[in-house]
Structure 1
Amino acid sequence: MAKTFASQGDLAEKTISFTEVGEGLWAFTAEGDPNSGVIIGDDSVMIVEAQATPRLAGKVIEKVREVTDKPITHLALTHYHAVRVLGASAYGADQVLMSETTRAQVVERGQEDWDSEFQRFPRLFEGYESIPGLTWPTTTFKDRMSVYLGSRRVDLMHLGRAHTAGDIVIHVPDQNVMFTGDIVEYHSACYCGDGHFNDWGGTLANIAAFDVDAIAPGRGDALVGKDMVEAAIESTRDFVESTYRPAARVAASGGSLKDAWDAVRDACDPKFADYAIYEHCLPFNVARAYDEARGIDTPRIWTAQRDLEMWEQLQG
């Protein structure tokens, strides 16, 4: 087994795609790297997910300028992870939107998450020296809020815990399109290190109830058409369940974290080994599943030091 995190060796440049998922709605995707979304209103633009650094955010802005010259006024952040939020300053948005829970998580663990992610996935922090600091919202909400970009209504909603406790989705009703953040992935592993396995399926069901025509997922290709949307929701559900069940069995029998790692690999490798960032996510997914199965409801904070200690345990 490699002695460093798989993500530390992931240095290849990814090909960017910019896909229209509805009228005036776009998905910025990059072969399993973090996605962003674009919502064009009458006179202004909302961006969904900032990217990890202002330099990487610049790549999103370049694509936006290919389709509109309207100002970027709003930035919606679906959760607190560094690779999603630290590029926020590049957009110059008047409003930065998060759930109340996500803001609390920035307070509680934002710096630790930044340090942790920077250590284990250096390529995603291109131009890291331009990050001015943690990203803070101008506006928060508990369960739901609507933003009007002229006549276009954009609904921001917390539909349940999944990838993190504060996850939100962004729904554009006039096109029935949703931006889900990392609650839904497509041919990419879910990162579950800060997740809630027992809630995730119910949150996916809440998304499915909207019967949307397209989804811009957290990672992987844009999902256009109900068949592709359904397939992605179901494969995400399968990934989460296939990770949790074997870890829970090991925890119930008093087995070790290494035992859980072996059991999850046995269940998941045959189905998901070819998914983007599978190896990157797996140790963190197993550690969180093992914790949750032992009754730890709030994910423990990942730090650069905890990452290394966990990895040493999994080396056997």
Structure 2
Amino acid sequence: VVVIDALGSPALARRLVQKIAEITPKPITHVIVTHYHADHIYGLQVFKELGAQIVAQQDARTYLNSDTAAQRLVASRSELAPWVDDNTRLVPADRWLTDSTALELSGMRFVLERVGPSHTPEDLAIHVPSERVLFAGDLMFAGRLPFVGQADSNQWIQSLERLLRFDVAVAVPGHGAASTEPRQDMAVMRDYLTYLRSTMGKAAKELVPFEDAYSATDWSRFEPMPMFRFANRMNAYNTYLLMEKESLGGR
């Protein structure tokens, strides 16, 4: 069994292991990590204890060894108790990938595409050609707006364009239900990021203050989407700062 991402707590990972056991008695041999955000990795220790090999992109090591990762875990032990506690730890990969590659596991081919730096520096997307399935990680949020954070939205858009060329029937996003209309759902992500860059980029270039730019922007296309009230303003602000940096030659 190959698992994609380990969920956001050891307790959730143990539930996933139980669900897998209801489907097959075969051992879990590999966990492929799409990126090292907390909600995707705090369950890794459960799979490590089962003997699974953890595979990830090597740029995650910078975050994994950072004060930010350590402080996030400390905060999570308080905010997410009892599911994340003093026994929860950060687990490095057993195999760090330097580029895109393919793994042949039990007769099935997994194509690991390096698509970062996008949502994170270490983004991986996993394509299973025989099943026409794509695990997109947090490059794709289905049925809701994404969390952009400090992402490289320009590279994110380019990576989505790459993924749109794959022959897939189903895409499994980092958040949201599996998509049976992957091209449509990935296009929504691409268009949202493009709109953020276009509107906030114009404002930054013309030195329009963020508050004025945000108020003047027509958000009607994206306003009905879940998480708009919680995510859009911060997404726009982070993009404004990014575009300000790019306009000053920071790229």
The two structures share one fold, judged by TM-score above 0.5: yes
1:67 aligns with 2:18: no
Choose the corresponding residue for 1:210, options 147, 166, 172. Answer: 166
SS at match of 1:291: helix
Match of 2:223 in 1: 273
* 1:255 corresponds to 2:213: no
1:105 matched to 2:63? The reply is yes
Amino acid paired to 1:218: G
Mapped pair 1:175 → 2:131: yes
Q: TM-score, normalised by structure 2?
A: 0.86
The 3-state SS of whatever aligns with 1:271 is coil
Distance 1:175 1:248 in 2: 40
Instruction: Give distance in 1, aligned partners of 2:226 and 2:70.
Output: 26
Identity of aligned residues (%): 24
Residue 289 (structure 1) aligns with = 239
One-letter amino acid matched to 1:75:
V
Q: Structure 1: which 5+ runs fail to align?
A: 1-44, 298-316
Q: 1:83: how far off?
A: 0.9
**What's the secondary structure of 2:131's corresponding residue?**
coil
TM-score (structure 1 length as normaliser): 0.69
C-alpha contact 1:50 1:75 (8 A) present in aligned 2 = yes
**1:177–1:212 contact (8 Å) kept in structure 2:** yes
1:18 is matched with none
Query: Does the 8 A contact of 2:150 with 2:238 survive in 1?
Result: yes
Return the offset for 1:163: 1.2
Equivalent residues, number: 244
Alpha-carbon RMSD: 2.5
Tell me how far 1:80 sits from its aligned partner: 1.5
Shift of 1:244: 2.5
Separation in structure 1 between the aligned mates of residue 193 and residue 231 of structure 2, nearest angstrom: 12
Higher relative contact order (CA 8 A, sep 6+): 1
Is residue 14 of structure 2 the alignment partner of residue 58 of structure 1? yes
Alignment of 1:46-195 (within 5 A): 46-91=2-47, 92=49, 93-108=51-66, 109-114=68-73, 118=76, 122=79, 127-129=83-85, 131-195=87-151
Q: C-alpha separation between the residues in 1 aligned to 2:57 and 2:230?
A: 27
Alignment gaps of 5+ in structure 2 = none
Contact 1:55 1:126 in 2 (8 A): no
Structure 2 counterpart of 1:6: none
Matched, 1:238 2:196: no
